[in-house]
């Protein structure tokens, strides 16, 4: 299994800071989902999702990455209602 980051809007995979790839095989492979999320927070990556890639694509798992900044924004929206 590989752990990669993907832009939600474009479907591109994170390769390196400032570099995205069309193919998941070119993407940076994180050691754990926690490491990938920490990387997003440290580098202020937003609008990405975590993808657990398996040998058979039908088993892939996609999960949103929610950072504190997104949570704070949503909390502000909720208070305005």
Q: Is 35 exposed, middle or buried (CB count within 10 Å of its CB: 0-12, 13-18, 19+)?
A: exposed
Domain ranges of the chain: 2-80
The Cα–Cα gap between 25 and 67 comes to 25
pLDDT in tens, 59-73: 999 999 987 654 554
User: Which residue matches tokens 């900044």?
Assistant: 69
- For the question of whether the overall pTM of this predicted structure is more than 0.95, the answer is no
The Cα–Cα gap between 43 and 2 comes to 20
Residue 81: which pLDDT band, with cuts at 50, 70 and 90?
low
pLDDT in tens, 15-44: 999 999 999 999 999 999 999 999 999 999
Containing H/E element for 16? strand 13-16
Tokens of 79: 């208070």
């Amino acid at each position: 299994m590989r752990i990669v980051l993907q832009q939600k809007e474009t479907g591109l995979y994170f390769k390196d800071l400032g570099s995205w790839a069309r193919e998941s095989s070119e993407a940076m492979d994180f050691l754990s989902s926690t490491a990938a999320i920490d990387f997003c927070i440290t580098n202020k990556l937003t609008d990405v999702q975590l993808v657990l890639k398996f040998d058979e694509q039908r088993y892939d798992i996609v999960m949103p990455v929610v950072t504190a900044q997104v949570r704070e924004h949503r909390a502000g929206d909720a208070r305005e209602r």
